[in-house]
Structures are given as C-alpha cells and as structure tokens.
Amino acid sequence: MAEAPFGLLAELTHRCPLQCGYCSNPVELVRREAELPTEDWLRVFDEARALGVLQIHLSGGEPLLRNDLPALVTHASSLGCYVNLVTSGVGLSRDRLQDLASRGVDHVQLSLQDATRAGNDRIAGIKAFDRKVEAAGFIRDLGLPLTVNTVLHRQNLDNVAGIIAAAEEMGADRLELANTQYYGWALRNRAALLPTSTQLAAAAPVVTAAQERLRGRMEIVYVIADYHEAHPKPCMYGWGARQLTVAPNGDVLPCPAATVISTLEIENVRDSSLHDIWHSSPSFGAFRGFEWMKDPCRSCSRKEVDFGGCRCQAFQLTGDAAATDPVCSLSPDRSTVDLILSAPAATTITMRKMS
C-alpha cells in the first residue's frame, strides 16, 4: 500500500485574469461549464483528509474567481488542513482577504512576474503589478505568512536582483525563484522562454549572495533550470509519492502536468474515490517505485535521488513516459535536449487564453 499523500493541489479553476505565457496549465484549458461544483469540492476535501492529506493548496488559474472560495476555505480548515491560497493577487481586496483569513487561510503564495511594473505587466498581459503590491500589503497587515513566487525565464532572468528587492519590499517571508518548467503553455513558448547559459551563470551568484544576506529574514528557494543540468530534477519526489492534483474538471493527476501523457488513463472524482485512485488506479501505479524503470535508470545509483527525472518530460521529448528523462546526461536521448538548447530563440510569446 502506498504511503499517504501529504498535499492536495486543488486547481479550482483554469480561469485567470492574467495571460502568462510561461503557465504550466494545459493548452486546452478546462472551461467554466466543466468545473466541479461546490459540493464535489467539499467531498474531495473530505476524501483527501481521510486519505491523510494535511495541506490543501487552493490554486488555478486564479482561485479568487470561484465565488464559493470562502465556503471551500472554511471546509478545508475545519478538517484540520493547512490552507494555502495560491493567487495572482488580482481581485484580492482587504475585506476579502480578511474574510478568507478568518475562515482559515493559513498562508498566501503571491505570484510576481518581474521586478518592475512595466516588466511585470508585459509578462502578465494585464496591469497587475500595483494590485500585487497592494495585495502584499493586505497580507502583511493581517500577519499572514507570504511567499512570493516568480517564474524565471529568458525575459526576466537578468532582473533577478530587482525581483529579490521587490519581494523584500513586499515583506515576503519566502521567495521562490522557479526556473520555468516546460509543460502546457510554457512548452508552447519554450523557444522564447529558455534562458541562455550566460544568463543562468550571471543569476546564480546574485541569488547566492541574497540568500546569505537575507538569511533569517527572507528565505530564497531557487529551482534550477533543468534542461541546462547534467541530471534531471527529482520531479514530484517520485510519481504518486507525496502529492496529488485535482484539476478543475475533477481529473485526478499524479502531477499537475500529467494530462500531457496521452497514454495515461486518467480517473475522475465524479467516478471514483480519492482513496481508490491513490491506492489502486493504473495511473498512480504506473511509475511508482522503481520496477517500471528501464536502463540506464534501473541500474543507476542516482535512481533514489532523482527517481529517473520527470515522466511528463520523458513523454514529451521521447514519446515514452517510462524513458529516462532526456535531461540526464546518461540518457540516450540527451541530444534532443542539446538540440533544443542550441536552437535559435523566438522573440514572441503566445499569451495564455481560453480557446
């Protein structure tokens, strides 16, 4: 029997006022009519808690666009779960946040697209910077812990010092600097988003120095740009190991990007319980443990460190979800990644939108 999951990523909606081209939501976004109704989400939270989940991340898209968000927060909190609101900050008034906090939001993760108003709003596709700064003020005034999350890519990586300064100014307790992961819209825009090695090399010492300088005041987490590395990221700390995702339409995913694996049979909370899906479904069982691995992973000493990398990336780049992640220098497909890295950069980004 698999160990209990620690966290539930509840993607309440794919609707979002922002249009970031680095978004990892699928290119085929779930439409409003297909979203789970309130009663199904309440049941999902009950089932998640019964399964052992302790943290519920209310995410999207933009979760503030769900009118039932207050009821969902109340319920998640009443189950004893730590409730994390993942938001762009657009639509977060002081009153609204006060209400959500009184209902049990424990933590807010606020996105920031770039260091300046102009850069942020260009990447977000709307005027959002001032509203984020304002939202950060409300969060701080209420005494809620604040994580600022910035997705890094070719268009903003040179501004990493400014991004760190902006997060400090916002009063963040934690800053996540996450190099783009190429799924969904980000994969579509990869040629415009992939940073250069020069950019990454310049950013690294800036981040390290800030981590030192801000130790004890603002934690800075730096998520590597894995195409440029010799070994892949330990994606999800192993498939079906710690967390599950429920998409806006009720699909239950071992990782947020798993719909890209077209060979995977995905289950839905409308048809099965989270317990059965977590413990007995073919999708969650597909890449658990080490039995599914082929060489070179099967006989590699790092397999317990990186779990063979990312299944979604392996599928996207090789067509085989059980292949060694091609980012790995030991993968027979590493040349695919090298070719992508050496291809000319694109200059335009397709903004995220519902089709």
Q: Which residues bind ligand FES (CB under 6 A)?
A: 183, 235-236, 255, 257-258, 310-312
Tell me the three state secondary structure of residue 191.
Answer: helix
Least separation in angstroms between CB 239 and ligand FES: 6
What's the rounded Cα separation, in Å, for the pair 222 and 275?
Answer: 33
Instruction: Determine the interface stretch with ligand SF4 among 131-139, 169-177, 265-273, 323-331 (rule: CB under 6 A).
Output: 323-331
How do beta strands 243-246 and 251-253 pair? antiparallel
Output 119 or 184, the one with its CB closest to ligand FES.
184
Q: Is 325 in the site for ligand SF4 (CB under 6 A)?
A: yes
- Give me 218's structure tokens: 């603002």
Output 190 or 311, the one with its CB closest to ligand FES.
311
**Residue 23 counted as an annotated binding residue:** yes
What's the rounded Cα separation, in Å, for the pair 1 and 169?
Answer: 47
Least separation in angstroms between CB 316 and ligand FES: 9
| Residue 258 DSSP symbol | G
* Residues listed for the chain: 355
Helices 160-170 + 129-141 axis angle, to 10: 40
CB 129 within 8 A of CB 157: no
Instruction: Determine the interface stretch with ligand SF4 among 10-18, 50-58, 268-276, 293-301 (rule: CB under 6 A).
Output: 293-301
Q: Which residue has the tokens 């700064």?
A: 133
Nearest to 233 by CA among 243, 244, 222: 222
Q: Give the one residue of 43, 117, 122, 231 binding ligand SF4; rule: CB under 6 A.
A: 231
Alpha-carbon separation of residue 173 from 12, 85, 216, 254 (angstroms): 25, 15, 9, 29
End-to-end CA distance of the chain: 41
Least separation in angstroms between CB 138 and ligand FES: 32
Nearest to 287 by CA among 259, 316, 310: 310
Instruction: Determine the interface stretch with ligand SF4 among 190-198, 220-228, 322-330, 335-343 (rule: CB under 6 A).
Output: 322-330
**Residue 20 counted as an annotated binding residue:** yes
Q: Is 232 in the site for ligand SF4 (CB under 6 A)?
A: yes
235 binds, among ligand FES, ligand SF4, none (CB under 5 to 8 A by kind): ligand FES
133 binds, among ligand FES, ligand SF4, none (CB under 5 to 8 A by kind): none
Nearest to 156 by CA among 177, 170, 142: 177
| Residue 3 DSSP symbol | P
303 binds, among ligand FES, ligand SF4, none (CB under 5 to 8 A by kind): ligand SF4
Q: Is 61 in the site for ligand SF4 (CB under 6 A)?
A: no
96 binds, among ligand FES, ligand SF4, none (CB under 5 to 8 A by kind): none
Nearest to 255 by CA among 273, 229, 233: 233
Instruction: Determine the interface stretch with ligand SF4 among 34-42, 150-158, 248-256, 295-303 (rule: CB under 6 A).
Output: 295-303
| Residue 239 Rama label (left phi>0; alpha psi -120 to 50; beta) | beta
297 binds, among ligand FES, ligand SF4, none (CB under 5 to 8 A by kind): ligand SF4
- Residue whose C-beta lies closest to ligand SF4: 300
Q: Is 283 in the site for ligand SF4 (CB under 6 A)?
A: no
Binding site as annotated, residues for [4Fe-4S] cluster? 16, 20, 23
Binding site for ligand SF4 (CB under 6 A): 231-232, 296-297, 300, 302-303, 306, 308-309, 324-325, 328, 330
